[in-house]
Amino acid sequence: MAEPLHVYADAEVPVKLEELKLNGWYLEDGWLRRKYTTDGWRATLMLVNTIGFFCEAAWHHADLAVTWAKVWVKLKTHSAGGITDKDFALARQIEEVVLWRPEAGGPLAHAQKPFVKDKE
């Protein structure tokens, strides 16, 4: 039988976010949250599908709110009753992929603006 997951106290969450360099993520109402701004509906759908893929692969599902150029992500481990390492790991995976940019001068470099903005 698996050991119970550590549920982070509210005061521990900002420290862990800083440690993991999860800028833009914050604690609100018992959830780990992040708002992503996109360049429109097409990018929003790609972002939602990307997040959905990671959630399904990890069997750890985010709550999402979706509008034309914004996606709000909410994470917590329902079975543990709060935020656990599973939430931080999923946030890290989402962040690394959706904010990835091709290396300047590399074979994938291009002049197109990013689909998902790292800052508003």
The pLDDT of residue 91 = 97
Number of domains in the chain: 1
Q: What is the pTM of this model?
A: 0.88
pLDDT tens column, 4-17: 889 999 999 999 99
Is there a domain that residue 62 lies in?
Answer: yes
Longest dimension (CA), the chain: 51
114 domain residue, yes or no: no
With contact defined as beta carbons under 8 Å apart, do 117 and 34 qualify?
A: no
pLDDT in tens, 60-99: 999 999 999 999 999 999 999 999 999 999 999 999 998 7
Instruction: Tell me if 34 is assigned to some domain.
Output: yes
Q: Does residue 56 form part of some domain? A: yes
Q: How far is CA 34 from CA 8, 64, 65, 84, 108, in A?
A: 18, 10, 11, 16, 27
Confidence of residue 3 (pLDDT cuts 50, 70, 90): confident
In a domain, residue 24? The reply is yes
- The answer to whether 64 touches 72, Cβ cutoff 8 Å, is yes
Rounded to whole angstroms, the Cα distance separating 97 from 10 reads: 26
Range of the structural domain that residue 61 is part of:
12-100
CATH number at residue 57: 3.30.1360.20
For the four alpha carbons of 54, 59, 63 and 67, in that order, the dihedral sign comes to positive
Token pair, residue 97, equals: 């992929």
